[in-house]
Structure 1
Amino acid sequence: MEKKIKVVFFDAEGTFLHISPSVGEIYARFWRERGYEVSPSEIMKRFIPAFRDKFKHDRVERWTQELCKKGWYQIFEKTFEPLKNAPCFEEVFQKSWEFFATKDCVILAQDFPEILSLLKKQGIKTAVISNWDARLRNILKQLGLGELFDEIFIGCEVGYLKPDLKLFQTALEILKVDPHEALMIGDSLKNDIEPAKTIGMLTYHYQGEPFSEVYRKVFYDLNFDI
């Protein structure tokens, strides 16, 4: 059976964008600038469960950019609870928030811009489906990627975070494609692959390989068609 692809959706962080240096190292640096020594590894031990509890377990009927920023502040509070009385607490949060809206917080996956351009030349639409927030738009603009995507679907803007099927369904409706004509590429089985499969999309589980290899596997090894 022919698998005709009209649009390729990409997850952002963990797929074509990778936080670098680590979240722990970034936060530690901002605290160090204000005279506080905090271990990056200890930060991560507190950050990961705080993040999971807020964005993976918290039940919100409809997300907004305001709620997302509030959520990130609550994560920051839990992560740095021992420093909550520091006079620079609000300043460090705001500086961190603004830093994660710049290209300096990420590195780009190998071959990704070239593959985006190749897909565009072949008439295939490309789009992002991400649980980042509106800061992602500025990052993509700074990286020179904004114009290469046909659409950018951000959970905090659409109102639903992955793995909510409504985020995927909204993206398909706006781009006017049927699920079987869309391919989802992402690193998370739970947030990217499983929900996309549930509504009938084609999927590719990204595991860190160069995107030239992803392209070869998708359009040659897996026999998907354009």
Structure 2
Amino acid sequence: MTTIKGVLFDFSGTLLRIEPAESWLRAALTACGVAMDDAEITRRATELERAGALPGGALPAELPAELVAQWELRDCDARHHRAVYTGLARRVPLPRPELYDALYERHRTAEAWRPYPDAAEVLAELRRRGVRVGVLSNIGWDLRPVLRAHGLERYVDGCVLSFEQGVQKPDPRLFALACRELGLAPSAVLMVGDDRRADGGATAIGCGFLPVDPLPVDRRPDGLRPVLDLVG
């Protein structure tokens, strides 16, 4: 069996998790100076979640026909990503039009993301062992400032982001590029992620794959620690 010398981590649902829809909406309301009573906030947050408007949150219960084509390629282009998620949010009536862009901007902030409790510990231990670490994400914006703000970037050797490459997981080309960024053969790399289809696509080029559950952070205290049992 080939020794694992590098680990690629997915971002959302793997290393960090997006905040709940209600706190996301509250932050956007505050940013825009809009008042809304608590019952209305709860109701609209539930509707936004059902619409799939929060990136990193629940998938849309129903995808509007006009967004189907963009949805399939949403992580390949920053403009598509914004258009899709603001389009989904606009399915929910909100009191001011600027709130839709404010919601999108909020989800890109470090405050909107919480690292899993064992993320820093596992990344630090991999670094101590001399294991190369990368972040490989289907995403429409630059997540590096979020990693930096949460003290995780120091442990990461490189990030491969779908919107920068114009291709998204499970396309083998993205995994191959990420392995090259680590300077390792795919057989020496483990992919860790919460999406068995997208992240599990790493096995097509010979990487290992470890699935994790994208639970709320307080319900997954040690989901990343099995990585340490698989690497030298």
Whether these two folds match at TM > 0.5 is: yes
- In the alignment, structure 1 residue 214 sits paired with structure 2 residue 226: yes
Q: Deviations over 1:178-197 (max 9, x none)?
A: 1111100111111112x011
- Quote the Cα distance in structure 1 between the aligned partners of 2:180 and 2:89: 35
- In the alignment, structure 1 residue 99 sits paired with structure 2 residue 112: no
- Quote the Cα distance in structure 2 between the aligned partners of 1:29 and 1:143: 19
Q: Which stretches in structure 1 are left out of the alignment for 5+ residues?
A: 220-225
- Quote the Cα distance in structure 1 between the aligned partners of 2:170 and 2:179: 15
Q: In structure 2, what residue type is equivalent to 1:70?
A: A
Match of 2:217 in 1: none
RMSD between aligned residues: 2.8
Q: How does 1:50-199 map to 2 (within 5 A)?
A: 58-60=71-73, 63-77=76-90, 79-80=91-92, 82-83=93-94, 86=95, 88-89=96-97, 91-193=98-200, 195-199=201-205
Q: Which stretches in structure 2 are left out of the alignment for 5+ residues?
A: 53-58, 214-219
Match of 2:47 in 1: 42
TM-score, normalising length from structure 2?
0.78
Q: Deviations over 1:84-130 (max 9, x none)?
A: xx4x21x2122222221222112111221121111112111101111
Aligned residues: 211
Q: Deviations over 1:5-43 (max 9, x none)?
A: 1210001111110112x1354125535852452412222
Q: Deviations over 1:112-161 (max 9, x none)?
A: 11211111121111011112232412211111212221011111112112
- Quote the Cα distance in structure 2 between the aligned partners of 1:170 and 1:146: 19
Q: 2:21 aligns with which of 23, 26, 30?
A: 23
- Quote the Cα distance in structure 1 between the aligned partners of 2:78 and 2:167: 11
Identity %: 24
1:94/1:73 CA distance change after superposition, 3 Å: same
